Structure 1
């Protein structure tokens, strides 16, 4: 899938048979700070680096990433979406998005 600019932290994803470009913009990160009750980006990064994310956490990250990528979606919209690989596919998308945003290696998969 093309169109995602990794230098800007964009991650390509295929959800519901459609290609998307997700990005945790500053606005999306502020949204996640609020959703997780984090005081700052360091606290947010620490939460994500624990490796323990719930389905609700993944829903919030994907929703914020889609909105950061320019899509007008709600968490309710994302709840209804499907990924070809199920929960594992969503987990790969979240992992690639967090890696692209906070570092820890290069998110290299063209279709997480």
Structure 2
């Protein structure tokens, strides 16, 4: 079960449940994949009007890899995310929020 206190988000990919998490390594991979010069630049891209579906997939891919998934973007391009586009966008948003949320005291 995904633990939101540790930044985990659950998703179903090709009928199999996974936990995604934006670890520091996953964020670095995402920054590189998006060609962002900084975390701030990357996050602002998600907050602005320039968000692309490939950005959402890149964020989900990084989160899955941070959660231990061994696939890559090409695998994700051909996968079915349960809930479709709306769920994928919601998962991406939750991953970002949890990654930058302060730990509970």
For Structure 1 versus Structure 2, the TM-score category normalised by the shorter chain is 0.7 to 0.9
Partner of residue 65 from structure 1, selected from 34, 59, 63: 63
TM-score, normalization by structure 2 = 0.85
Q: CA deviation at 1:5?
A: 2.0
Deviation sequence 1:71-109 (CA, Å, 0-9, x none): 101101111111232211211111111111134xxxxxx
Q: Provide the aligned C-alpha RMSD in A.
A: 1.5
Where in structure 1 are there 5+ consecutive unaligned residues?
104-112
- Provide the secondary structure at the position in 2 that maps to 1:82: coil
Q: CA deviation at 1:24?
A: 0.7
Q: What's the counterpart of residue 55 of structure 1? A: 53
1:1-112 pair list within 5 angstroms: 2=1, 4-50=2-48, 52-103=50-101
Where in structure 2 are there 5+ consecutive unaligned residues?
none
TM-score, normalization by structure 1 = 0.81
